[in-house]
Amino acid sequence: MKTTLSSALQNDIDNVVQINAIPSLLNIICKTTGMRFAAVARVTDEKWITCVSQDDINFGLKTGDELVLETTICNEIRQHSNPVIIEEVNKSAEFCDHHTPAQYGFQSYISFPIYRKNGDFFGTLCAIDPEPAKLENREVRDLFVLYTQLISFHLDSIEQLNDLTVSLQEEKHIGELRETFIAILGHDLRNPVGTTRMCADILLQMNLPEMAARQASTIKSTSYRMQGLIDNLLDFAKGHLGDGIRLELSNNKQKLKKLLKQVSKEIKIVDTQHEILFNINLDEDFHCDVNRVGQLYSNLLGNAIKHGAVDKPIITEIKTENNQFSIAVSNAGVKISEEKMTHLFKPFFTTNSENNKSGLGLGLYISSEIAKAHGGTMEAFSTDEQTTFKFIMPINAGNSNDKND
């Protein structure tokens, strides 16, 4: 018979069904013992339920079918925890008058308990036949011991895998919500930041007192920093939501030069302490996403401003040479340790320096993603005298990325 099972019991049965080896295992039991019905049963203090069976005698039990618990020897095994082996009921002093063989019409019977890794009783591995069978030997006992252990092992493995899958799904869902939130937040912040900068520009064109002019200049420089943080947040969120860094490629050296000079100018507005030596020499033609390269340069320059010694200049070298386009930004300052060097281009990694308490740790990561999208690489070198971050890209890489236009 079948009844509606609780979700926990149904889950136990489903887990046993998932074990692909069990049909073969039951077949080997039948071949080895000569018995024609074998099954894995889930046994509780209320129910006896078939999980998987091999039935060559039309006993009639399939997955999910139940027997009345009190009519089974498995119920007794659940209570005393010992296996039961009967070669021939009629010759057994203990079981010749037992109600179970009489009710179900078997002469030979074998059942071993299955225990979970934590010691909980799960059920039994059992076999029956209307005819006597030779079961009282070491080979059969060892076979059942081995198979019950294998079933227990597989059950625990399946449950661990299911728990892990659920945890991963929950983490993925939380991650998607977090990244969607970041993307929405970044998008909604762009307009007020742009408005703030525009208002600062208007104020700076007015004849303001010196202190008011300095405050307006500070507002403008802060808006540039906020815009950089927002851009990095959006790029990170898009990348993790599957959009990745998309390129709009063009071959326009003059536009690129103008933008990179503009980035340097904007950085000087934000920071007046560092001298920036800007060197650019673009002799060869190449394809790139001008705005993305500008973003990469801005991130590298901003990083140099944060960590560079104020009494030494920041040096930028931008050039095409030997079929490569490169941007190198160097600053004097404290040497980066070998341990930190291995994490520089990972998201949310910061050096926790005094100059970078408010950093998100996304600038170098986004730069490396932009480099990868161009078929290039990011490199870092650090000594006691100087730290350099360098973007290198084959100048023919853009030709293979036209699909991103």
Q: What is the pLDDT along the chain (405 residues), one digit of tens a residue?
A: 677 889 999 999 999 999 999 999 999 999 999 999 999 999 999 999 999 999 999 999 999 999 999 999 999 999 999 999 999 999 999 999 999 999 999 999 999 999 998 999 999 999 999 999 999 999 999 999 999 999 999 999 998 888 888 888 888 888 777 777 776 766 677 778 888 888 988 998 998 898 898 888 888 877 877 877 777 777 776 665 555 677 889 999 999 999 999 888 888 877 778 899 999 999 999 999 998 999 899 999 989 998 999 889 999 999 999 999 999 999 999 999 988 998 898 887 776 555 554 455 788 988 999 999 999 999 999 999 999 999 999 997 444 444 444
In sequence order, the 6+-apart residues with CB closer than 8 A to the CB of 330 are 304, 314, 315, 316, 317, 386, 387, 388
Q: To which CATH superfamily is domain 7-136 assigned?
A: GAF domain (3.30.450.40)
Please give the pLDDT value at position 351.
Answer: 62
Please give the pLDDT value at position 360.
Answer: 59
Strands across the sheet containing 314-321: 276-281, 314-321, 324-331, 387-394, 377-382
Closest C-alpha to 19, from 158, 118, 160:
158
What is the C-alpha to C-alpha distance for residues 289 and 294, in angstroms, rounded to an integer?
Answer: 9
Cβ-based neighbour number of residue 266 at 10 Å: 19
Burial class (CB in 10 A: 0-12, 13-18, 19+), 220: buried
In sequence order, the 6+-apart residues with CB closer than 8 A to the CB of 375 are 393, 394, 397, 398, 400, 401
Please give the pLDDT value at position 266.
Answer: 80
Phi, psi of 333 (to 5 degrees): 155, -165
Which CATH code fits 160-244?
1.10.287
In terms of DSSP H, where are the helices of 19-137?
A: 22-33, 73-80, 99-104
pTM: 0.51
In terms of DSSP H, where are the helices of 205-271?
A: 210-240, 253-270
List where CATH 3.30.565.10 sits in the chain.
Answer: 247-404
**Phi-psi region for residue 375, left (φ > 0), alpha (ψ -120 to 50) or beta?**
left
Q: Helix or strand or coil: residue 380?
A: strand
Closest C-alpha to 114, from 185, 221, 39:
39
Please give the pLDDT value at position 362.
Answer: 80
Residue 43 near residue 21 (C-beta atoms within 8 A): no
What is the C-alpha to C-alpha distance for residues 58 and 130, in angstroms, rounded to an integer?
Answer: 11
Please give the pLDDT value at position 397.
Answer: 46
In sequence order, the 6+-apart residues with CB closer than 8 A to the CB of 37 are 30, 53, 54, 55, 56, 57, 59, 61, 127, 128, 129
Q: How far is CA 266 from CA 133, 213, 260, in A?
A: 91, 17, 10
List where CATH 1.10.287 sits in the chain.
Answer: 160-244
Please give the pLDDT value at position 403.
Answer: 40
Question: Which H or E run includes 145?
Answer: helix 138-204
Question: Domain 247-404, what architecture?
Answer: 2-Layer Sandwich (3.30)
- 164: amino acid identity, one letter: L
- DSSP string of 261-316? HHHHHHHHHH-SSS-EEEEEE--S---B-HHHHHHHHHHHHHHHHHHS-TTS-EEE
Please give the pLDDT value at position 190.
Answer: 74
**Phi-psi region for residue 323, left (φ > 0), alpha (ψ -120 to 50) or beta?**
left
Please give the pLDDT value at position 265.
Answer: 85
- 377: amino acid identity, one letter: T
Please give the pLDDT value at position 181.
Answer: 74
What is the C-alpha to C-alpha distance for residues 40 and 124, in angstroms, rounded to an integer?
Answer: 6
